[in-house]
Amino acid sequence: MGTPLIFSFWPLHVLAAIKAAVLIQRWYRSYMARLEMRRRYALSIFQSIEYAEEQAQLQVCTLDYTMREYEQTIEVPASYYGPHLSFPLTVADTDVLLQAFKHRQHLHARYVLQLLHETRKVLQQMPNITYLSTSYTKEITICGDLHGKLDDLLLIFYKNGLPSEENPYIFNGDFVDRGKNSIEILIILFAFLLVYPNHLHLNRGNHEDHIMNLRYGFTKEVMKKYQCYGTAILHLLEDVYSWLPLATIIDSKVLILHGGISDTTDLNFLNLFQRNKLKSVLRPVKSNAETVSKPRGASLVETGSHRTEATKSLSGQDNSLKEATRSTSAPSKRRRYSRDVSDGKEPLGNLPGRGSSSLLPEVQYLKPGSVTTSQTSSELTTKEWKQVVDILWSDPKHQNGCTPNKFRGGGCYFGPDVTARLLRRYNLKMLIRSHECKQDGYEISHNGKVITIFSASNYYAEGSNRGAYIKLNPDLIPRFVQYQVSKSTRKETLHQRVTAIELSALKCLREKLYTHKSELIAAFRQYDPNYTGKISPGEWASAVESVLCLDLPWRTLRSRLVYLDQDGRVEYLSSFDNFEIQLPIKEVQPFLVETLCRYKADLEIIFNMIDKDHSGLISVDEFRQTWKLFNLHLRINVDDESIDSLARSIDFNKDGSIDFNEFLEAFNFYIVTFPHVPAYSSSP
């Protein structure tokens, strides 16, 4: 066909310009689509590795970790120039704390312990599920995971204002771990809770758990910042965690909890059990507490993971942990909200103040132990444990149904039908949850009935995601506010930012490949009986997935991870070319090195259990004990002679002590660039 009639009178140079513009537009759209694809698969890599690590954490929970009560009068020295607190706190104290933390000052341990004690008193007056109401002059702000990122919290307060009677907040769990300023975030949130107990509300997340803190950095942060007082702070925090409310309901229509729900979630039951019995959801209940049936979503036994064998559930909960002292003298400063009875659907019948059948119709904030349930024992029951695991660990899915969450190893995946049934049962309209990093800081799913909100920007790497929070008024139409803490990324182009995120994700993935080198080579050679060193791309993808179980698009990632020969076959040993280990000890066996790198986080947790004073030093005999626990936990076979040789080698000054932290740091990855492997190409 010729040129259309409408263009027949246009000059040729104009037609040429239009054609060029169309070509440029097509190229640009294709270029942006490729960038978006790279950014999305980088996020998928990060999430798959994160969830695999959580599976490992759910296994290592079978080891016990307890701390003794540490009571001592702590004096603040004259040389201390940080913030000073006096109780009860005032708004001026919160301002002092914010300014001090902006300038990277620390709060003295004496004030931290006082703050935690006062916070526990307030939390003990709260119900398991908190009821709030909105007004057009007082929108409620809902924030998701912060994970120790103080800059995000300060940015939220800068954009949205500080908590106050006119500006209420809900923080939906996961305040700690991963980031460098978890303790500062807790101090700020607890301080505002004491000043505005009716207008700042906290829900428990799955990282408000002392066992999770061992793996993901908060324990190490507290011990580094507070040293000899760190143990007392951590022990008290363990009890404070157990008193955090589990959920919040706004205007009797919007349910807010950290993770999600399952097909057995019972809000009435969740509101009535004694929540402080649950110190850690990673420590399942005693098998003799009641007849244990295998729950659909709550099982913490790993299924289909990359591990060679799932470990058994715990035989019991630690009896040495003392029950928290309940405060009966501290008056609750919280307002008792009045609520109307919902009509039509099943009400939250057993919730105090909900309907005429309520036992205590005027009271919302009950003192601990004031409600008697069918289970009066101080032992946690399987049903109680399962209910909490599901609301802290579950994730939504697009398909109907409720299935075990195999990626995380705990909780479940719940579909739109499960959401619809729960909302209909309790006459609710919406579920707001957190627990998952989202590229834009939030995500709407299940036909608008489920919202995920995530407030930690740059969670995986600089530029990997935005943070967001929700503003909610009586119309219950969420308004999202996005942001991103920007430092080095301000002057970078979109291509540079995506490339940086992608390279960071690929580095994490290559570490995963290297730490499973022996298993991967064995899997590759099943397809290569003649030891040619080459297999097809499909065989390579199948072998990698069979070992790592990360559910990633390996065929798409293949060009960034391995080298192809001229016939299009994968040279599978190039999977490990870009990484080496800096070995301080040449005598260490390769198998032992691979084991150390793969289970470095688990080994560090076990070490922390043995290093009671958190000095960072253990004896050679304690090091051997660490390895015995390690071998027992992971069911790996490392002979005593290899461990003794390793212990002698790393005791450099022969004083009988091992600096374990330096030892772990010595087994770090570093990148070695090989020109024939296109893994770190930055081309679009």
Residues 496 and 493: their CA atoms lie apart, in Å, by: 5
User: Smallest Cα–Cα separation from 282: which of 388, 179, 129?
Assistant: 388
Paired strand residues for 27: none
Peptide bond before residue 88 is cis, with ω within 30 degrees of 0 = yes
Beta-carbon contacts of residue 236 (< 8 Å; ≥ 6 apart): 113, 116, 117, 120
* 258 belongs to the catalytic site: no
Concatenate the DSSP letters of all residues of 127-175 into one string. -SEEEE--BTTBPEEEE-B-TT-HHHHHHHHHHH---BTTB-EEE-S--
Q: Exactly one of 147, 199, 207, 210 is catalytic; which is it?
A: 207
Residues 517 and 598: their CA atoms lie apart, in Å, by: 10
Residues 145 and 442: their CA atoms lie apart, in Å, by: 11
E-assigned strands of 561-668? 563-564, 570-571, 579-581, 617-619, 657-659
User: Smallest Cα–Cα separation from 89: which of 142, 145, 150, 163?
Assistant: 163
Residues 2 and 461: their CA atoms lie apart, in Å, by: 52
The values of phi and psi at residue 568, to 5°, are: 80, 15
And the tokens for 237?
Answer: 């925090």
Q: What is the H or E stretch that residue 629 is in?
A: helix 620-634
Identity of residue 514:
Y
Number of Cβ within a 10 Å radius of residue 480:
14
Residues serving a catalytic function are: 207
